[in-house]
Chains A and B, each alone.
Chain A
Amino acid sequence: MSQIEITRSTPVILRLSVYALAFLFSFPGLYLIWRNFTEDSDPVGLIKTQRVLAPLWRTFSLAFTVSLTTAFIGTILAWLTSRTDLWGNRLWRILLPIPLVFPTFIGAAAFIRTMNPGGLMNRMLEGAGIGTVVEMRGFFGAWLVLTLFCYPYVYLPVAARLRQLPKSLEENARVLGQSSLQTFRRIVLPQVGSILAAGSLLVFLYTISDFGAVQLMRYDTLTRSIYTNRLINQPTALALSLLLLLLAAVIVLSERFFSKVTFTSQETYTGDPVLYTLGKWRIPALSIVLVTLLLSIGAPMLALGDWAADGISRTTRGGSPLTIDRGQVLESTWNTLSISVITGCVAVLAVLPIAFLVSRYRSRSGTFAHSVVIATFAVPGLLIALSMRFWILRTDWAFDLLDNTKTLLVFSYIVRFGSLAMGIVLVAVSAVPKKLHDAGQTLGTKKFARFSRIDIPLMAPGLGAAAGLVILSTMKELPITLLISPLGFSTLATRIFGSFEDAFVAEAGIMAVILVLLSFFLTWLLVIRRADHL
């Protein structure tokens, strides 16, 4: 096996395109370094002060806890919905990715409105004599809401992987008398290990970049310091951002160091995966899914739906009219849908070369590009937007070509969210058994035919999940959309922001409900398509 690998040389085009990609994805990082110089920032001096160490520690502990819990919940949910006879599986598969689509600034606010003392939930339960006593704030609030909104980062890729795993090993294990739990631990877990680690890493990086949730939960992390200092003390904000990126780099490198998982599957793909019978675990399993959905979709949707319903009924009972019209909503909905689907597809294509280089050729430059793409996910969207402006303005031809265009917007989204596709695409590429490939080669099949007949069908679930993650994240993206989009381009997220900032909660509620319905439609398509496919 190793012989073939050594003799296989890397195609020049592949190598060059990966260099180019690594360069493009390092724009935000280079911008931060440059700005730290020009603004005379002092990240080293800053790190010695308590002012930074405390938020840095809070950032780390929050991100660590959230990624641990999402790893746990995401894996359980993925296993239950893809490998068991759980009742309602098809529906859960459509619903479970949806929390990703809540912009945290309104999702967390809606969650608070339902759950906090005096909130909607409280009012509903008052009749039964149960009052909500726990106030969502600080570490607990930030942890809970981020876990509920971020578990799909783990759930989606792990589910995609589980549905694609060869069943022979599991069958053998069970024939040899291993219990389900033992089979899960010894056979299944090691096989999803790399994708689970990749998913948890994304959760970690997202958590350190998030501003909306920690701000509303009043938990003082590095991002909050960056935001409070961004105008009044730019050198400090820039130094803090660089520290954030360094933290991300350390985490990405250590993940690579600790999870030395074999990438290449040597097993032949054999159709339907094993399905377990839940038996007496039917009810507890169903409760896990229901509680997750109730908290992550139900709680915010209750508050958003209430605002929306109030807004709609307000006009019929002669209150002040809504400030949005149908045309605006349709336009924003179409913009949201089209730009996010385009971004999702292009993002997957963009990271494919890197995945091939890493997986098929074990190239060091591939690994480097991979790390750059992943670590960039920790950079807050605002800084990605500013860095894009910065580079475009300093390159005349790029400025003429790209300024004020949707192309630049899609490109910026990809820099922000390429990491979401990277991990899954890498595992999908690695999961194509080499045996098949080599057989194809031996039989003289042409490269392109090999790719379309062997690679694509086998990678399809992974690529679909990767595109799905990027699409749902792009749909809710705010800072880049506001600062980079062509003038006059609006999405549902920008209109939600425009309404919510000045407390037009009815309009914000209506558009948030539309955003969730739109994501429901997309995940439905994704799930249905895949079901037909397999």
Chain B
Amino acid sequence: MAVLLIVSCGGENSKTIDGRAAEIYPPGAEKCADSNGRSVTIYSGRTENLINPVLEAFACETGTNVQVRWGASTDLALLINEEGDKTLADVFLSRSPGPVGYLESKDLLGTISSETLDLVEDQNHSASGKWIGFSGRKRVMVYNTDEYSPEDLPDSVFDLTGEDYRDKVALPGTNGSFIDWFTVFMDVHGKDVATQWLDDMVDNGATYYPNNRSIVEAAGRGEISMGLVNHYYNYQIKASEGSSHKAENYDFNNEDIGSLLVITAATILDSSENVQASEDLLQYLLSGSVQQYFTDRTFEYPLAAGVQANSTLPQLTALEIGSVDFDKLGGGFEEASRIIEASGILNR
């Protein structure tokens, strides 16, 4: 933060950066670049803890004045909609594609240059060029290690509707990435199959929890046996709680919809007057050192620059790379939410 303040004051720069930001830039450098006269304002639904080091490094390396508003992706999307073309935001970083799809439907997004879009594979940016993925998180099943070992767990989410898993599974029904996941589920298997699966889960005694984190914690306590979550929460909680946290991630068969990769998205607002700095930032997010940071430090999947996923993360294969069209998320999001609500899971 101190760095940002000083950088924003412009002038000659004797400031260096430290901590996690220094892992990204500059490796052993003496001081930050002088101000380049550009500035960029970011509304970030990615939390400060995860991404601020990247933004500090960007400010230091390029001399760009960076300002951030932190918040929940959904709330920030609502704020941008309220602000319209008077928004302070140049760039919006979202935890999941849903809120970005919402802004696209409101015609508030600009078009990202093809130079930037080409940094990721085609399926990881929108066909219209309105937004681009910059890291990925995988859907997995977290389970309590006192009750289960991996060989007892099923190959597919479709097996979870069976008698063996009655009253065992928790679902984060109102969570953004769960809704995103279910939207893709509907797209891949058809609406009827997806709806049937969810209804069967409810009949089979699935319980509702409000978010990924509370499921991972509850599994660690043994309050529940297993639950469908994003993969990286368990890494953070294990790091803090150690052996008293009795939960591990389980990766479904790689062809299964249960092991989908959901991407985090970046977008430039149509009203932005700092397009160059915004493009620079997006390209920076997709650079090798930042992608490396994402996988080593925040346990996410890199999407660009040929960076390999950290070896502690579950392997990525078929389904995650390429077969899912995230463009469908925008429109399908609302329908998915309606089906989830109608299933009754939220009251379980």
Contact = CB atoms under 8 A, between A and B. Distances in A.
A224 B346 CA distance: 10
Interface stretch (A22-30, A274-282, A487-495, A518-526): A487-495
Contacts of B347: 220
Interface in A212-241: 215-216, 218, 220, 224, 227-233
Interface string A314-331: 100001110111011001
B210 A327 contact: no
A321 B41 CA distance: 28
B305 interface: no
B239 A231 contact: no
A386 B70 contact: no
Interface stretch (B47-55, B123-131, B153-161, B319-327): B47-55
A163 interface: no
A415 interface: no
A232 B333 contact: yes
B240 A502 contact: no
A399 B83 CA distance: 11
Interface stretch (B73-81, B110-118, B281-289): B73-81
Nearest to B50: A502
Given A220-B347, A230-B78, A231-B99, A505 B241 contact: yes
A504 B79 contact: no
B331 to A, nearest CB: 11
B339 to A, nearest CB: 11
B176 to A, nearest CB: 9
B13 interface: no
A233 B339 CA distance: 13
B20 interface: yes
Nearest to A331: B1
Given A325-B19, A482-B70, A505-B236, A495 B223 contact: no
Interface string A387-411: 0011001000001000010000000
Contacts of B216: 503
Q: Which of B20, B216, B217, B338 has the most CB of A within 10 A?
A: B217
B281 to A, nearest CB: 15
B68 A218 contact: no
A311 interface: yes
B209 interface: yes
Contacts of A113: 217, 221
B313 interface: no
Interface in A445-491: 479, 482-483, 485, 487-488, 490
B47 A498 contact: yes
A91 B50 CA distance: 40
A495 B48 contact: yes
A385 interface: yes
A141 to B, nearest CB: 12
B208 A483 contact: no
A483 B75 contact: yes
Given A231-B74, A487-B69, A117 B79 contact: no
Q: Which are the 6 A-B pairs with shortest beta-carbon distances?
A: A118-B221, A498-B48, A503-B236, A482-B71, A487-B67, A118-B222
Interface of B: 1-2, 4-5, 19-20, 41, 47-50, 67-72, 74-79, 82-84, 86, 88, 98-99, 102, 174, 179, 208-210, 213-214, 216-218, 221-223, 232-233, 236-237, 239-242, 244, 298, 333-334, 337-338, 341, 346-347
Given A494-B70, A502-B213, 6 more contacts: A230-B75, A321-B19, A331-B1, A502-B50, A502-B298, A505-B237
